[in-house]
A and B are shown apart, each in its own frame.
Chain A
Amino acid sequence: DAGITQSPRYKITETGRQVTLMCHQTWSHSYMFWYRQDLGHGLRLIYYSAAADITDKGEVPDGYVVSRSKTENFPLTLESATRSQTSVYFCASRRGGPLDEQFFGPGTRLTVL
């Protein structure tokens, strides 16, 4: 299907385990973003990427790792999950210009026990 997809949609893991959240977009958008959504905090940017092999930190990058070997994929890895990383994670993409619309995926609800 065209658009932006995330997998899995729901994930339960334990403290200390490695978890990877996947994001795939079919538009060939240059920019991709990872946000986490927590009650009262809105959406906070974790990492973003301007193109393949170009990534940069956002507001809350600690504990997360990203990579972007292909334009269409932007996985987010929690190397050693902590309970504070329990959240809903959204991937987003944008074509190019700063005024271009940013499209969000459906989200992944992650619970760290």
Chain B
Amino acid sequence: QQQVKQSPQSLIVQKGGIPIINCAYENTAFDYFPWYQQFPGKGPALLIAIRPDVSEKKEGRFTISFNKSAKQFSLHIMDSQPGDSATYFCAARAGGNMLTFGGGTRLMVKP
């Protein structure tokens, strides 16, 4: 049973476009929502994270939007570059030690 549902599974955009990756959750006890970026052959690396007491967080070209009432959060990549081509995972944690991951989105940014 996947507690964090991520969509789409794959995404292709042109350079400069704004890919949007969406995640939805059911467990209202989740209180920490990180996004991880993974390049082929590498382990995931933390990209950006948000707590549910804020609706938006920006770090460089990456923005998380959070909608607590809808139990949804999304990642936006502004001015996307070919170097952003990677797999992106959303995740959530309910105050304990276990991160629950979404299924991943493979992003390709075409030059």
Contacts and interface: CB of A to CB of B under 8 A. Distances in A.
Interface in B38-94: 41-46, 49, 89, 93
B103 A50 contact: no
Contact of A40 (B9, B42, B49, B89): B9
Given A90-B44, A98-B32, A104-B44, A42 B104 contact: yes
B32 A40 contact: no
A105 B46 CA distance: 12
Interface string B1-37: 0101010010000000000000000000000101010
A80 to B, nearest CB: 26
* Tier of interface size on chain A: 20 to 34
* Tier of interface size on chain B: 20 to 34
A50 B97 contact: yes
A66 B104 CA distance: 26
B43 A107 contact: yes
A42 B103 contact: yes
B104 to A, nearest CB: 5
A98 B101 contact: no
B89 A43 contact: yes
B6 A42 contact: yes
A99 B98 contact: no
Contacts of B46: 101-103
Contact of B32 (A45, A99, A107): A99
18 contacts: A31-B97, A35-B101, A40-B9, A40-B104, A42-B2, A42-B104, A43-B99, A45-B99, A56-B97, A59-B98, A90-B43, A102-B34, A102-B99, A103-B46, A104-B43, A106-B41, A106-B42, A107-B43
Interface of A: 31, 35, 40-45, 48, 50, 56, 58-59, 90, 92, 98-99, 101-107
Interface of B: 2, 4, 6, 9, 32, 34, 36, 41-46, 49, 89, 93, 95-104
